[in-house]
Amino acid sequence: MNRFLPFSRTTPSGYLKKYMEVDLSGFVGHLDELIPSLIIEDRIYGADRRTNLNCGSNSLDLGVLVPDEAASNQYRWWNCETQGNWLDGFVRSAILLQDEAMLAKAKFYVEYYLASQDKDGYLGIYQEDLRFQTGIENGELWSQSVLLRALFAYYEYSASELVFLKIRAAADRIMIAFPANSEARPFSNSKEPEHSFCTGIGHGLTIVDIFFWLYKTTDEIYYREYCVWLYKQFNLESGTNLDADVMIRNILDSDYRMTSHSVHTYEQVRALALAAFFGQSEEYRTALDSYWNYVTGFLTCPSGAAIGDECISPTGADATSTGYEYCGLQELLHSYSLMLELTSAPVWAERIERLLFNAAMGAHLQNESAVTYCQTDNCYALSGKFQLNQPHCRTTDENQSRYKYSPTHQDVAVCCVPNAGRILPYYLMAMYALKDDVLTKYLFGPSDLNTAIKGSRIHIEEKSNYPFQTNISLNITVMDETVFTFRMRIPEWVSCFDLTGIEYKVLDGFIVISSVWHDTTEIKLRFHRIPSVKSARNGDAYINLGGLTMALKIPAQAKTVRTYPLEGFSDRHYTAISDDYQLRLCAEKPLLEVPDGVQAWFINEATNQLEQRLLVPMGKTTLRRVTFPKE
């Protein structure tokens, strides 16, 4: 297994650093101030630990402005998700950007959460009367997973033995409650109607993230074996009230159509992946291949996003009529990165880059700190409801408000905004991997790597505007003369490339450089690309430029629909200024790459005239059209 380097070894520079700085000065750095009732005032891991089914229902803000009584049990653990995922993105961003004030704040929060740990290692949200119980909706394993991910990031940065011992104690306490190879049922759920909302139980399968990281850190085999056992126990349940898309019997059923909450479907696959790689089961390996064939072939949009608004449509992906949730983007990227680490196969890096630079950036307000909760590739309106009454669209639930830009989305749930703070740190974490004396660069983007090989400190500076431009400069500096192999992935869209500064060979989709490294070596790399027409599932066409999905930018006007006591933050709707985007692509006409994007030829449906239009990267748009009927 080609292991990623510990978190914080790769830091952002250039436009990626600026992108993260916008959010650290925005919702990533200030979400606790924007929604203090959910993060500061609810001490869910401490004094406000839940002690019975009614705890907190009258006195605490439970994460949504207009609660649904049918899901009342579910809301009682929601704030752990908001707090844990926010802390994960916040701690990682403060570390990567080395912002002194934010680092001090991150340290304060880490110490605050660690102080809530019981003497027996428990680090969760329940008092003893509800602890480690199943059969009712609960967030036991989920609450620990989201918090421990953040603490692990802080440990890898600080190398604090105390932090590590506390993480390990929390994990070992879980293993005592649910012993491996026992009859314990950590994912059992009630079949009674009042307990039909069991999403916290399903989310809990992500606890495998923690045990996998413990395995990588300690090389203790029983941690990875515990991941396999957890997935086996998950498959014992009926699935009636539990998200069931990643249950083995459903994946292997050729007639089954995924319809669960998309975030669960895209995060739970990490347990299947670990079971497939460490469980020595041909059935698991077959199921994992079937899962990814379904997700990447049937559920994925041109942008690289897999659908889910919030549940998965059984009809498959459509650039206009099926949306995707930001939580799903982050969890899918995390799952892709695990597949990359386990397999070293470049295809997972392709999927990571496509998802981040198209779908994720296309769901982030340009140069401001706000994201959409749900989004579509073809985006004609962001007015809360799903593209209501817009051309080329169908009307869905008129009561929802997920399609807008917000720094909290508290009217629905404060889950997507915290996850938006995690996605770039997780991208950077998957950029490099090291096995023996082979250092592999899987992902590109302006960044700095600091690591060591054979005791020699190594710094790699990447100067680029990748993927928006494909000229890449790499300065590789070693402290002491060292022999090692450096590999770089060749993206699948590259028609050819130029490399100067050192001798190399090409092997299995990688540029391979084996050398005696000393002082500083400057490598100049240029990937060549050609605009190409691709076909969406419905037969419409879209245009790629390298790893970028291109879009017709639709002029829009903004309307502020909510302001916050904290200055500079608001919720906004966007509507199109005109409908001059009803076009048919002339697929036979040549495409021309220009500095701002791609020039393409269209027939204007209103005038029936031939026109040339500029398409830009969809990650740089608010309203847009990505797919077009072919002329």
What stretches in the chain show pLDDT beneath 70?
Answer: 53-60, 66-73, 189-197, 238-242, 387-400
| Strands (E) located in 442-519 | 447-453, 456-463, 471-478, 482-489, 496-500, 505-507, 510-517
Residues of the chain with CATH 2.60.420: 432-528
- At residue 190, the pLDDT reads 58
- At residue 134, the pLDDT reads 78
Sign for the pseudo-dihedral over CA of 79, 84, 86, 87:
positive
CA distance 298 to 306: 9
SS3 for 203?
helix
pTM of this prediction? 0.96
- At residue 57, the pLDDT reads 47
CB 377 within 8 A of CB 319: yes
3.40.109, 3.40.50, 1.10.3710, 2.60.420: CATH of 432-528: 2.60.420
- At residue 191, the pLDDT reads 53
What's the gap between Cα 121 and its chain centre?
Answer: 29
Neighbours of 483 (CB within 10 A): 12
CB 45 within 8 A of CB 60: no
CB 42 within 8 A of CB 103: no
- At residue 593, the pLDDT reads 97
- At residue 389, the pLDDT reads 45
Phi-psi map region of 556: left, alpha, beta (phi>0 left; psi -120 to 50 alpha): beta
